[in-house]
Amino acid sequence: MNSDGLQMPSLIVVEDNETLRQELVLYLAEEGFLVRGVDGRAELNQAIQEQATDILILDLNLPEEDGISITRRIRQALPNIGIIMLTARL
């Protein structure tokens, strides 16, 4: 809960770069979000099955399944999840 007593959204950060993932998770947790970090498709699938989430913060360039493909799949299965796409691509 935040300082106003409101429940913060739960987030999953999907990022294969471990350092960046850890930094995002730490920052968001310090801001009061319920946040988990995963490195790709398999961990994301498991995390969603274990606990519902409100928002995915999703890397565009992932090794096993790219962010666009994950977005399409998640939109079909769980249309109410918010998705924020990130990329470091120039």
25-56 pLDDT per residue, tens: 999 999 999 999 999 999 999 999 999 999 99
Q: What pTM was computed for the model?
A: 0.90
Name the helix (H) or strand (E) containing 74: helix 67-77
Instruction: Report the relative pairing of strands 34-38 and 55-59 from DSSP bridges.
Output: unpaired
Q: Could you tell me which residues come within 8 angstroms of residue 88 by beta carbon, excluding any fewer than 6 positions away?
A: 61
**pLDDT at residue number 5:** 66
Give 57-79 pLDDT, tens digit per residue.
999 999 989 999 999 999 999 99
